Structure 1
């Protein structure tokens, strides 16, 4: 996709571990991909579904 602005998750570490990138600058869609395998596929969410995921992830907290 052209014009997509990817950003690394604020929860991703700087050690090259499990990282994701999110693009939420497109109207009506949020894209998520693995930083280590950028060509391996992209998950697509609607804004409401993504917002619900964020709420749930914050409630659960980090998984170690």
Structure 2
């Protein structure tokens, strides 16, 4: 799963819920953290944090 900005917290919560409650043999295989540069219509640039969480099963 992937998330940007304010939704990172929800993505982490979902990953924890999936691995702890629903798919108990799953685990966090890989977590990537990065920053994306967003260019707005007015030309201003903003950096937005991103996270990608890969969950796998045994």
TM range (shorter): under 0.3
**Larger Rg, first or second structure (1 or 2):** 2
Larger relative contact order, structure 1 or 2 (CA cutoff 8 Å, min sep 6): 2
In proportion to residue count, which structure has more helix? 2
Q: TM-score scaled to structure 1, two decimals? A: 0.21
Normalising by structure 2, what TM-score?
Answer: 0.22
